[in-house]
Structure 1
C-alpha cells in the first residue's frame, strides 16, 4: 500500500471540511429560515400621504372643436307619390334612368262614369241614356335629381299617397355618431364642418351641418341633453354634413368631421378634472385643513375644449381649488379617464396660465 504524501493528506482534510460546510448550510436553509426584518424598521411609509393636490384658477383661450369619426354615405332616395286615385295610362321613364327634379314619371287617370238619365220620346216611350264618362289626369313628377327606380306598369292602380318611384340622388354626406358628451358641446351646432378623408383630397368644408336621428329628422340637442355631466356613452344622434358637388367621394370612405361650436379668449378656466359637471352648472372643491372634507362650491360653466372648461361665475382668478374632484380621484385609481378624454394632471393641453401645487 502506497503511503500518501503530506500534501495529499491536507487536501483530503480540506475536502471533508468543505462537504461538512455544505451539509450544514443545506440543513440551515431547509429547517431554519432567516427571520425577515421588520418592514417598517427603515423608517419609510409605503402608503405615504402626498397631501391635497391643488391648482390655481387662471385664464385660458378655449376653442370648442369637436372631432368625430364617421363615413361617407350616399344620400337617402326621395319618394315620388301618387297624387290621384286611378290607373297608370302612361310611363315616361324606365328603371335606372337619370332624371331631374320636375321630370314626368307616370301619368295617372281617374275615371268618372257618365251620368244616367231617363229620356221620353215623342211616342211616350221611356228609355235610359248614359252620358260619356269623364276623366281626370295627374302627372307624377320627380321630387329631385338622380337615378329613378320604378317598376310601374301601364294599367297599374294606385291610391293617393302610394309610392310610385324613388329617386336616388348622386350626392353624398359625411355622417358620424355622437356621444352624449359631444351632444353637450354641440348645443349651438355650426352650419359648416371640416371633412378629412384619409389618403383622399385635402381637407374641405362641408355645409348644412345637421344633428339627425336614425329616422332622418333633425333634432334639437338641448332636448336630448340630460342633467348629468355628460357620459361618453353612444347615442342614436348623428351629425350629418353635405359633401360639395365638386368633391369626388365614395360611399364607405372613413372620414374625420371637425365642428367648431364657439371660442373664448382670456376667460377664467380650470381643468375638467377639477370640476364635477360639464354643461351650464358644475361643482369644484376648495382645500381645507381636513383633506377628507374639502369645501364644495357651485360654479357656472361656459364652453369647453375637452381639457379646459370656462368658469363664468363662482371663482376668481388665483383662487386655489383641488386639481381632482373626489369623483375624478376615484376614476384615476380605477385607471379610468373622465368625459372628453380626461387628463393626466393639472393643466394638460398647456392653454392656461395657472400652475399646479402640492
Structure 2
C-alpha cells in the first residue's frame, strides 16, 4: 500500500499531465496551422429578368375619377339699344330657347330730305338758275321694336331690366339656368397622352345613382381651361347637392390616377338621366383597340408615346423563371444588353404595342437598366410579428 501511494499514484498523475500537455501542444501548434475549411451554406444567384415580345390585343381604356357638376347659367344680353317697353316673362319661369323675354324700342332718326328752290337767271329774270338746297326735317320720328330672346332652355333665374329702362347693346339683362349636368374629372400626363386619339364617348358609373350609361361628346381641355370650367360649372345649380362619395371602379379596382393633374375630361349627361350635383362618378373612356399586335410590358420600355427604347437581352442574361422568356431565343446579342429604338402604338397601362423595331419572340429586359425599384404600396410582412407599410 505504501508502494502504491508513493510510486504508482505519482507515476499515474505524471502520465495524465503528460497526455494533457501533448494534447494542448497539438491543438495550439499542429491543428492551428492547418487551413480552415469553408462551411457549405446557402447561395443565391442574381438573374436579370427577361421577357419575350408576344402578340396580344391592347385596349386603350382609361378610367378617371369624376364628379357630377351643374352647368353654369347662360347669360341674357341685350341685342338692341333703346328703351324697354314690354316684359313678357318674369324671373323663375321655365323658358324655351328662342322664347321672347322683353321688348326694346329704338328711335330711328329719319334721313334729311331736300327741297329744291329755283332762283331767277341774270339773263331772263325767270326761275331756272342754280338750285339752292334747303333741309326740311320730318315732323314725327319712327321707331323699331326688337324682342330679346332666351339664349337657352331652362329656368329664367334672373331678369334685371325694368319698364322704361334705357339699355345698350351687349348689356347683361339676366341669366337662364339650363338645368343640365356635366361629369368632369382631372387627368394626369400619362392619361392625357393615352387620350391623344380623341375619344368620342365615355361610359359613366355614378355612385348611388342609375345604371351605367353612355355619355357622348367627350371633351378634353388643358389645365388652364380646366380651372375656368371648375369655377363656373358649380354655380347656379337648381338641384339639391349630395355629398361627394369616392367612386369604386367596376371589378374591385381603383382608378389609375395619381399624378399631377394636367387637364380635365368632361362629358355632358344625357337629359333623360337623373343625377344631382356633387355625386361621385367613374368615367371610363375607350380610346382605341389594337388586335393581334406585338406587345411588351411598359416596364421594359423607356418612353410610352410614339417612340421608345428597349434593351435586347444579351447572352449573359438569364431568362425569367416561369415567365414568357423562360426559353429565350437563340442567337441573341453577345455580351451585355443592347439598346434598340422602337415605334410604339397603344398601351393599356401595363402593356404597350410595338409598331416596328421588334420582332415577335425577341427577348428584351423586363425592366429598364438603372431604373429605380418600385416599392409596392400597402401593408407588407417585414418579419415575425411585425408589418411595414410600403409606398
| TM-score calculated relative to the size of structure 1 | 0.69
CA deviation string 1:123-167 (max 9, x = no partner): xxx998662122222111012110112221123333222222221
Work out whether residues 115 and 131 of structure 1, in 8 Å CA contact, stay in contact via their aligned partners in 2: no
Equivalent residue number for residue 249 of structure 1: 275
Equivalent residue number for residue 68 of structure 1: 64
TM-aligned CA distance change 1:130 to 1:44, over 3 Å? farther
Q: Which consecutive unaligned segments of at least 5 residues does structure 2 have?
A: 1-37, 116-133, 230-257, 318-334, 378-391
The Cα shift of 1:108 comes to 1.4
- Secondary structure at the aligned position of 1:79 is classed as strand
**2:305 is matched with which residue: 279, 283, 297?**
279
CA distance in 2: counterparts of 1:62 and 1:192, whole angstroms: 19
Work out whether residues 295 and 354 of structure 2, in 8 Å CA contact, stay in contact via their aligned partners in 1: yes
Asked if residue 330 in structure 1 is aligned to residue 326 in structure 2, the reply is no
CA distance in 1: counterparts of 2:68 and 2:284, whole angstroms: 14
The Cα shift of 1:84 comes to 1.4
The Cα shift of 1:293 comes to 5.8
TM-aligned CA distance change 1:52 to 1:155, over 3 Å? same
Work out whether residues 112 and 135 of structure 2, in 8 Å CA contact, stay in contact via their aligned partners in 1: no
CA deviation string 1:20-51 (max 9, x = no partner): xxxxxxxxxxxxxxxxxxxxx867799x6613
The Cα shift of 1:113 comes to 4.6
CA distance in 1: counterparts of 2:139 and 2:286, whole angstroms: 70
CA deviation string 1:284-328 (max 9, x = no partner): 11233677963111001111110100001011111110100135x
Equivalent residue number for residue 161 of structure 1: 170
- Secondary structure at the aligned position of 1:196 is classed as strand
TM-aligned CA distance change 1:143 to 1:190, over 3 Å? same
CA distance in 1: counterparts of 2:281 and 2:39, whole angstroms: 58
For the aligned residues, what is the CA RMSD? 3.0
CA distance in 2: counterparts of 1:127 and 1:324, whole angstroms: 92
- Secondary structure at the aligned position of 1:278 is classed as strand
**1:1-358, aligned counterparts within 5 Å?**
50-113=46-109, 131-148=139-156, 149-212=158-221, 213-214=225-226, 215=228, 232-235=259-262, 237-288=263-314, 294-326=337-369, 329-332=371-374, 335=375
TM-aligned CA distance change 1:44 to 1:157, over 3 Å? farther
Which 10-residue stretch deviates more, 316-325 or 172-181? 172-181
Work out whether residues 270 and 308 of structure 1, in 8 Å CA contact, stay in contact via their aligned partners in 2: yes
CA distance in 1: counterparts of 2:137 and 2:363, whole angstroms: 100
CA distance in 1: counterparts of 2:164 and 2:39, whole angstroms: 100
Which 10-residue stretch deviates more, 282-291 or 88-97? 282-291
TM-aligned CA distance change 1:187 to 1:162, over 3 Å? same
CA distance in 2: counterparts of 1:197 and 1:277, whole angstroms: 34
- Secondary structure at the aligned position of 2:85 is classed as strand
CA deviation string 1:258-293 (max 9, x = no partner): 011111222110110001111111111123367796
- Secondary structure at the aligned position of 1:90 is classed as strand
Work out whether residues 114 and 132 of structure 1, in 8 Å CA contact, stay in contact via their aligned partners in 2: no
Work out whether residues 66 and 258 of structure 1, in 8 Å CA contact, stay in contact via their aligned partners in 2: yes
CA deviation string 1:96-138 (max 9, x = no partner): 211001111121122235678899xxxxxx9986621222221
The Cα shift of 1:71 comes to 0.7
CA distance in 2: counterparts of 1:164 and 1:175, whole angstroms: 29
Work out whether residues 64 and 187 of structure 2, in 8 Å CA contact, stay in contact via their aligned partners in 1: yes
TM-aligned CA distance change 1:94 to 1:320, over 3 Å? same
CA distance in 2: counterparts of 1:191 and 1:76, whole angstroms: 23
- Secondary structure at the aligned position of 2:211 is classed as coil
